[in-house]
Amino acid sequence: MSTALPDYRRKQIRPVWCPGCGNYGVLRGVEKALRSLEVPAEQTVVVSGIGCSGRFSHYLNTYALHGTHGRALPVATGVKTARPDLTVLVVGGDGDSLGIGGGHLPHAARKNVDLTLLILDNYTYGLTKGQSSPTTPWGCVTKTSPYGSPEDSLEVLPVLLAYDVSFVARTSSLQTEEMAGIVTEAMGHPGFSVIHILSPCVTYPVLGWKVLRERLAPLPASHSPGDKAAALQLACSRDLIYTGIFYSVQKPTLDARLQQLHQSALKRYSSSGKAPSIPSLMERFI
């Protein structure tokens, strides 16, 4: 596939999201980021899970893998490990990334696999018509909680910081310019980067645009992304919902560690005088 840059929108497939859905803003922000990075579209793979957010991968003119519910991260880890030269973007909803797929997050974090995950959080399961999700706030009425949700919502950013994800940011569908800048930074970050994107569902509204307009605030200019304790404190803010880059540190990536292993295994074989071959390796297991 060869694509004339810098056009990343897939013209043949129009988004089927409801008019007014926050996901349109996310698509605009991501397109802007891809344009500013000028990553070749044929070198880019978007892996998505199932949900309205999962349809994201259809709408960009890149390679795409629309997999199963909750499994985008392990699939993307496989893609990146087999082809470290590719740029891999992962997209999932709050249900996909934090509910059914939530168990994959700590492992992507400890591997520091070089991926960017966008969590499109609308506080509900949009595709399946508005059930409560891990981020539905306590007391909210949804299809599965007609008397109000009896559960607390997951604190997304504190959880990501506790997992030591090496790049943690938050933005919203209202802020496509800011989002483009954050996505650009995240995709340039060597390691696992996660962006929590508040993106309202207008058809099953739990998170409303009004809340975003009233409560979003940029991180204080004095915040240093290397300061985890400060990042955690700001992530726990209840009144203001801060947006920006909370945390960013450099750690070895999975790919760099695998390359190292590869080199030391080759060294061991060459010092033994035997060339490594698949049959000689298999012999050890027979």
Ligand X SMILES: Cc1ncc(C[n+]2csc(CCOP(=O)(O)OP(=O)(O)O)c2C)c(N)n1
User: What residue ranges bind ligand SF4 (CB under 6 A)?
Assistant: 17-18, 21, 23, 52, 122, 126-127, 201-204
Q: Is 138 exposed, middle or buried (0-12, 13-18, 19+ CB in 10 A)?
A: exposed
Nearer to ligand SF4, 127 or 245 (CB): 127
Beta carbon of residue 149, minimum distance to ligand X (angstroms, whole number): 14
Which span sits near ligand X by CB under 6 A: 127-135, 138-146, 221-229, 243-251? 127-135
Task: Identify the CA nearest to 22 among candidates 121, 169, 91.
Answer: 121
Is residue 114 a contact residue for ligand X (CB under 6 A)? no
By CB under 6 A, tell whether 95 contacts ligand X. Answer: yes
Q: Which is nearer to ligand SF4, 21 or 187 (CB)?
A: 21
Work out the burial of residue 243: count CB atoms within 10 Å of its CB; fewer than 13 is exposed, 13-18 middle, 19 or more buried.
buried
Minimum separation from the CB atom of position 242 to ligand X (A):
22
Which of ligand X, ligand SF4, none binds 114 (CB below 5-8 Å, type-dependent)?
Answer: none
Q: Is 144 in the site for ligand X (CB under 6 A)?
A: no
Answer whether 135's CB lies under 8 Å from 98's CB.
yes
Peptide bond into 6 cis (omega under 30): yes
**CB-CB contact of 60 with 87 (8 Å):** no
Q: Is there binding between residue 94 and ligand X (CB under 6 A)?
A: yes
Partner that binds at residue 191, options ligand X, ligand SF4, none, CB closer than 5 to 8 Å by kind: none
Taking CB under 6 A as the criterion, which residues in 28-57 touch ligand X? 50-53
Q: Which of 44, 133, 184, 248 binds ligand X (CB under 6 A)?
A: 133
C-alpha to C-alpha distances, 268 to 90, 261, 262, 273, nearest whole angstrom: 36, 11, 10, 9
Q: Which residues, 175 to 204, sit near ligand X by CB under 6 A?
A: none
Residues in contact with ligand X, total (CB under 6 A)?
17
What is the spatial distance between Cα 125 and Cα 136, in angstroms, rounded to a whole number? 9
Q: Which does 50 bind (CB under 5 to 8 A by kind): ligand X, ligand SF4, none?
A: ligand X
Q: Is 119 in the site for ligand X (CB under 6 A)?
A: no
Check: CB of residue 156 under 8 Å from CB of residue 194. no
Considering the rule CB under 6 A, would residue 128 count as an interface residue with ligand X? yes
Work out which of 8, 17, 59, 125 binds ligand X, going by CB under 6 A: 125
**Strand 193-198 relative to strand 167-172: parallel, antiparallel, unpaired?**
parallel
Task: Report the DSSP beta bridge partners of residue 172.
Answer: 198
The structure tokens listed for 147 are 């008397």
CA distance 17 to 152: 28
- Given the complex with ligand SF4, which of 15 and 84 has the nearer CB atom? 15
Chosen from ligand SF4, ligand X, none, partner binding at 144 (C-beta under 5 to 8 Å by type): none
